[in-house]
Amino acid sequence: MTKSIGSRIPSVVLLVLCAVAPSARGQTAHEFNEQAVVIYNAGQWEEAVQSFERAYELAPDNAVVRRNLCNAHQAAANALAREADFAAAVRHLELATSIDPENESPLIQLGSYYLRLDYVAEAIARLEEAIELAPRSVDAHDLLGDAYYMDNDVPSAQVQWKWVLEVQPNRPGLREKIEKASREAAVEASFRPSGSRHFQLTYSPDIPGRMLRRVTNLLEHAYIDVGRDLGGTYAPTPIQVIVYNAKEFTDATHAGQHIGALYDGKIRIPLYDPSGNALSDEELKQRLYHEFTHVVVRFLAGNRVPWWLNEGLAETFSKPLGSNGMGLLQTAQEEKGLFTLHELSDSQLKKLEPVVLRLAYAQAHATVSDVGHRSRHRSRGSRSAEL
């Protein structure tokens, strides 16, 4: 998972300008800049951008005005990112990079936000530009490693991260990323590439072509079906998918046998069960639709979605709750063993045994299905009332 860069608000400075033509309102660039600095220091980022823009219109060649306007765009972008409006934040930063093209800071921030939006190619381009300007920027190299990894270029990611490790050996989370990537690279060294319209697949040479075609076909259907059901939301492409046999999946992910597939920025799925039997069409569809739902949820809300909602949506879009799930919930209710929504969190669930985890998934599934049912019922009632 990538981190967000740009939480440090850059400072702006006053300046003294030589004679510059005043604006139609009679104010000079110096006066607009002074006003903007006051507004900026009060934390009114959008208003500061507007005032600095007036100074920039009158003195476009002044380096201090350009840097101040760039900093104001960065601060406004940071505020928008805190509200998870990364698309609007990106628009501010694209302006910032055009105003102050020799400044690596907005490029690094922009790369971080593009990664958050899963626009990997754009992130790579901006972060590579940043490193050209600031070759020893640790943040830029770390994020570029994240971007290469998300693009499934693991060797290039390792090069970036290992350089960062030499410079900052105690950087939080870095050793874990390198270890995870090295483990996956060892398993996937002989894997082959394939692709479709919206997905880039890397697959084990043990996987027959007919099974790979099943995966591709199901993924393309999931792209349309889940995207439509989530309000016409279609995640950026290509989406990375790694296809394993059962042992390779366990070796690469260290996941327990109760984990049928996972999404960690890439969809990872084995096409065989631990006994070596190929997954049925229905089981394969359920697993792929489940993991692809996580892709869309991440695109919509990042890591701000609670576990029960994320998994409940994935379960709802991949299969019906069924009699087994209902029976499990009924027994738990009678035994007063149901979870609170607060208990259905990542930290709590990591402690659970697989048999108890099945109950957690069933409860998340039922909760989301019930909310959706009541929402549709209210919508039908409202339309009837209006008619």
Question: pLDDT tens, 153-194?
Answer: 999 999 999 999 999 999 999 999 999 999 999 999 999 999
Phi, psi at residue 113, to the nearest 5°? -70, -35
What average pLDDT does this structure show over 142-152? 97
In whole angstroms, what is the distance from residue 87 CA to residue 96 CA? Answer: 15
Is 90 exceeded by the pLDDT of residue 383? no
| Sign of the dihedral through C-alpha 174, 175, 178, 181 | negative
Confidence of residue 385 (pLDDT cuts 50, 70, 90): very low
| Model pLDDT, residue 12 | 60
| Model pLDDT, residue 1 | 42
| Model pLDDT, residue 203 | 97
- In order of 14, 30, 48, 53, 332, the CA distances from 96 in angstroms are 19, 20, 13, 11, 55
For a pLDDT cut of 70, what percent of the chain falls above it? 88
For a pLDDT cut of 90, what percent of the chain falls above it? 75
Q: Which position has the token pair 């060294």?
A: 189
Q: Give me the chain's average pLDDT, please.
A: 88
In whole angstroms, what is the distance from residue 48 CA to residue 28 CA? Answer: 16
Is 90 exceeded by the pLDDT of residue 27? no
Cis peptide before 101 (omega within 30 of 0): no
| Model pLDDT, residue 143 | 98
Beta strands in the chain (DSSP E): 192-195, 199-203, 239-244, 262-263, 267-270
| Model pLDDT, residue 11 | 63
| Model pLDDT, residue 369 | 84
Query: Among the listed ranges 29-38, 69-78, 114-123, 155-164, which one has the minimum average pLDDT value?
Result: 29-38
Confidence of residue 21 (pLDDT cuts 50, 70, 90): very low
Q: What domains are defined for the chain?
A: 1-117 (1.25.40.10), 192-305 (3.40.30.160), 321-378 (no CATH)
Is 70 exceeded by the pLDDT of residue 113? yes
Contacts for 259 with CB less than 8 Å, ≥ 6 apart:
253
In whole angstroms, what is the distance from residue 160 CA to residue 135 CA? Answer: 12
Who wins on pLDDT, 106 or 348?
Answer: 106
Who wins on pLDDT, 352 or 77?
Answer: 77
- In order of 15, 69, 103, 105, 136, the CA distances from 57 in angstroms are 15, 11, 20, 23, 33
Q: Check: CB of residue 67 under 8 Å from CB of residue 102.
A: no
Question: pLDDT tens, 206-247?
Answer: 999 999 999 999 999 999 999 999 989 999 999 999 999 999
Amino acid letter, residue 171: R
Q: What is the DSSP letter of 341?
A: T
Q: Which position has the token pair 């979870």?
A: 339
| Model pLDDT, residue 2 | 43
What average pLDDT does this structure show over 104-119? 96
Question: pLDDT tens, 354-372?
Answer: 888 899 999 999 999 866 5
Structure tokens at 313: 């949506």
Is 90 exceeded by the pLDDT of residue 65? yes
| Model pLDDT, residue 120 | 96
